[in-house]
Structure 1
Amino acid sequence: MTPPAPIVGIAADDVTGATDSVVQFSRSGWASRLLLGNLLPRSVDPGSALALNSDARAMDAATARTATAGAVADLLTAGANRLYLKIDSTMRGSVPAQVAGALDAWRERHPGCFAVVCPAYPAMGRTVEDGLLRVHGGPVEDSPAGRDPVTPVPTSEFSLLLPGTTTISLTGSPEQDAQALREAAGSGGVVVVNAASDSDLRTLAAALVAAGPTAIPAGSAGLAAAMAAAWAGAGTALIPPEPAPTAQGQRIVVVVSSLHDVARTQTHHLRAHLDASDLRILQPEDSLLDLPNGLARWAAGELQSPESLPRVVVILSPEAVGGSVTFSGTAIARSLASVVQQTLARAPVGALVLVGGDGARAVLEATRAQALRITGAIQEGIPVGVVEGGTAAGKIAATKAGGFGPVSALLDTVTELTHTLTTTLTQSTEASS
């Protein structure tokens, strides 16, 4: 008999990474959710993918290890019998500690477990070749990730990114490759795998299925897509998809908390190509970020005529951040989330676009969301879903990591969501008439 589909737990280092990965499971037919708040589901059906955010990317090593272990322990409590560790595709942040934390918690249920690290995401230009991490063919340290203002990556060599590990290539024989992974992981319990194409990732996924639950895939959304298909193929049919949401209005609120160069460029492109009558920018001065009451008064003034707000409202972090005044990504995100709260309270909003992991987490936390049910993706790296619970319940939400996508990514997202909201509202009107 074919075994039941597993329950996959995804431990991610930030919110956008969590949604980037869990959407890959949604595409392959899994019931997929990003879990938020403090409540774990009481029962989960086989064929479900559950993502939890540890916020570990920018943490120090000890804190990141503990946070990741806690997320994995919660996923085990929720019923996960397979684990996927979502790490940054450019190895930003506390990746070694995240891997260690995942092993700490998973070995409580699966003694002898080991981690297989491969952040390759060929669709986004990220590859692992001869033990080197490359972005569009060049060393990662020469890419925007090397200049990241919060977690820069100084080298492309995995021998330095993950000291003590070996990097191997696979042959395409699942059982033999599974054994090669076990042997290469050795006493340290971690092995790195080369992958320069989607075919390489499918080869790795087949080996990980053969290795069973003791193998922990650690990668980006690229490997997540391959694992979603491979694990689905090894189990019974997945459950039917859940219904699409009903639009709550046509206004779109775009929240750009990311300080990444790519996110800034995409925002400028959006501003340049939308008609001025369709766009409003809400961008507080950097001095307000340290003054909650002042920020609230500023936002109230900007929103005093909510009926005049256009169909696209962009809430943007100050240009001066990172210059003369320095704030943490979390502090910036929380400030912007408070502006989002006031916007939602004063004006009808149909969709949220959350750019940057800190901002996405802060907005969903501020609105007391319990989960984000993932329904698909607008384009590669931009998953979309429906907020469950809290003051934003029922609203469509798209998330995007700050460093991903072409210059037109934000404009494309707003265009697609405008079409979705218009179509849904038209259908609802016709159905009720």
Structure 2
Amino acid sequence: MYIGAIADDFTGATDVATALRDRGLRTTVVIGDHDIPSDADAVVVALKSRTAPVDEAVAASVRAADRLTAAGAERLYVKYCSTFDSTDEGNIGPVLDAVLERVAADRTVVVPSFPGNGRTVRDGRLFVGGTLLEDSSMRHHPLTPMTKSRLRDILAPQTRAALTEIDLPTVRSGPVALRSAIDAAPAGYLIMDAVTDDDLAAIAAATAHLRVLSGGAALAAALDAPAGTSPGALPDVGAGRLVVCGSASAATRAQIRDAIDRGAAARQVDVDAALADPRVEAAVLADWVRRLPDDALPLVYSVGVLTDVRVGSADASAAVEHVLSALVADLVGAGDVHRVIVAGGETSGAVVQALGVTALHIGPQLAPGVCWSVGTAASGVSVALVLKSGNFGAVDLFSAAWKELA
């Protein structure tokens, strides 16, 4: 195995798996603690650890690192979101601390930049579409509100490791000079400026000797990986469609509006009903989907406008996850739905776990960081899934994605 990756949510797992697949590597996403395949060039372990308690996130990440190392992974890759979603407690810093200690590595790079999706780092500060992270829509994230833009300031409360910023002129000084700067820095975390894909390619070349890398998916796309066997086509699945959205991001809200404008049958989760009894609300929504015409595109969402967000309400977020995951599991298990687009990292994790999927085969890319995949549910039914970070994808994604499975 050339590389083993540890992703802190399920959308991030398919995101980095797509990047590795596009490098010619036979890539599989493994869910949680399930078996690591022996015939893959790259394996991504998908965890639901981004907002888990720190000790749980660390323990799950260390288990994944141990299993990947035992399976022969030459390098490890700690994958987090390109908007660096975390809190003062973690989990990015504590997970990096634990993984590096586990493999006796003394340093790694921190590279969330994803230029294809508008995430760049300059002067140590993270920008989203040209706007500082703290001024972007991520400031209002209900679970990980990002109120700082300087990565050093975000990481400092999470780790005691030394934090060194590597500026853009150094990144662009050539791979030999950049490697020298990396090796000369204090042991710890090197926060890398990167504004273009060429910058990421330079970082990838200069870090080929590091046992552990960390970043968003775009750095993985720059790795000079050995070519593997070209992956085959995804298996066929049935035609029933569904979109579920647990994300409050501006991109997902725009995608919801666009799908409704194009004729999608849309219904919003009743959060109060979900808090009272999520099973009942899921059953109500499932009945609504089943009564739609066969050619309808059902779209179930939790946030249509920003004022729908219940900031700081973990109970509301958990109830919505429960409703949407139970809805998908019900409809897929009954054979009513075979193709599902899921928007939101936490929601994606809940859906995959509710389905009982243990591994995902990665298929065609729909947009940077967004792809189709196919897994087998616990019921034995094959299901095609798009697990989409809330911020990713073109505005017409919910309407256009289906043609890739035709």
Which of the five TM-score ranges fits, normalised by the shorter chain? 0.7 to 0.9
Match of residue 29 from structure 2: 34
Q: 2 CA distance for matches of 1:121 and 1:389?
A: 32
Aligned equivalent of 1:221, options 211, 217, 222? 217
* Deviation sequence 1:22-71 (CA, Å, 0-9, x none): 100111211112112542135244xx221122323223444433333333
Q: In the alignment, is the contact (CA less than 8 A) between 2:7 and 2:45 conserved in 1?
A: yes
- 1:177 partnered with 2:172: no
Is the CA contact (8 Å cut-off) linking 2:123 and 2:193 kept in structure 1? Answer: yes
Kindly state the Cα deviation for residue 102 of structure 1 after the two structures are TM-superposed: 3.4
Report the equivalent of 1:295: 281
Letter in 2 for 1:101: V
Instruction: Provide the C-alpha distance between the structure 1 equivalents of 2:278 and 2:312, rounded to a whole number of angstroms.
Output: 20
Could you list the runs of 5+ residues in structure 1 that have no partner in the other structure? 1-5, 424-433
What is the CA–CA distance in structure 1 between the aligned matches of 2:129 and 2:65, rounded to whole Å?
32
Deviates more, 1:371-380 or 1:174-183: 174-183
Q: State whether structure 2 residue 360 is matched by structure 1 residue 359.
A: no
Query: In the alignment, what sits opposite 1:167?
Result: 165
Q: 1:40 to 1:77 in 2, by over 3 A?
A: farther
**Separation in 1, partners of 2:398, 2:152:** 36
Give the equivalent residue in structure 2 for 1:122.
115
Structure 1 CA distance for aligned equivalents of residues 318 and 262 of structure 2: 30
- In 2, the alpha carbon distance for the partners of 1:324 and 1:55 equals 19
Shift of 1:294: 2.3
Q: What pairs with 1:275-354 in structure 2 (closer than 5 Å)?
A: 279-290=264-275, 291-299=277-285, 301-303=287-289, 305=291, 308-317=293-302, 320=308, 322=310, 327-354=315-342
Corresponding residue for 1:15?
Answer: 10
Single out whichever of 53-62 and 84-93 deviates more from structure 2: 53-62
Give the superposition deviation at 1:183: 2.3
Q: Which amino acid aligns with 1:329?
A: S
**What is residue 384 of structure 1 aligned with on the other side?**
372
Task: Please list every run of 5 or more consecutive structure 2 residues that lacks an aligned counterpart in the other structure.
Answer: 157-161
Could you tell me which residue of structure 2 aligns to residue 101 of structure 1?
95
Residue 201 of structure 1: CA displacement?
A: 0.3
Q: Does residue 1:400 correspond to 2:388, yes or no?
A: yes
Map of 1:426 onto structure 2: none
Q: Decide which structure has the larger Cα Rg and report it.
A: 1
Deviations 1:194-236 (A, max 9, x none): 1111000000000111x242xx221112112112xx1x1xx4x
What does residue range 250-269 of structure 1 map to in structure 2 within 5 Å?
A: 251-269=240-258
Equivalent residue number for residue 428 of structure 1:
none
2:14–2:371: 8 Å Cα contact kept in structure 1?
yes
- Identity between Structure 1 and Structure 2 (%): 26
Partner of 2:113: helix, strand, or coil?
A: coil
Equivalent position of 2:363 in the other structure: 375
Give the 3-state SS of the residue equivalent to 2:242 in structure 1: strand
| Post-superposition CA distance 1:390-429 (Å, at most 9, x none) | 337432211211122343333332xxx1x244x4xxxxxx
Could you tell me which amino acid in structure 1 is paired with residue 281 of structure 2? L
Per the TM alignment, residue 343 of structure 1 is displaced from its structure 2 partner at its CA by 1.8
Does structure 2 retain, via aligned residues, the 8 Å contact 1:85–1:102?
yes
Q: Mark the CA change 1:392 to 1:128 in structure 2 (over 3 Å): closer, same or farther.
A: farther
| Counterpart pick for 1:245 among 235, 253, 257 | 235
Structure 2 counterpart of 1:53, from 26, 46, 53: 46
Contact 1:353–1:399 under 8 Å retained in 2: yes
Counterpart in 2 of 1:427?
none
Secondary structure of 1:327's match? helix
TM-score, normalised relative to structure 2: 0.88
Structure 1 window deviating more from structure 2 (311-320 vs 152-161): it is: 311-320
The corresponding residue for 1:431 is none
Going from structure 1 to structure 2, the CA distance change for 1:338 and 1:145 (only over 3 Å counts) comes to same
Q: How many pairs align?
A: 393
Judge conservation of contact 1:254–1:353 (CA < 8 Å) in 2. yes
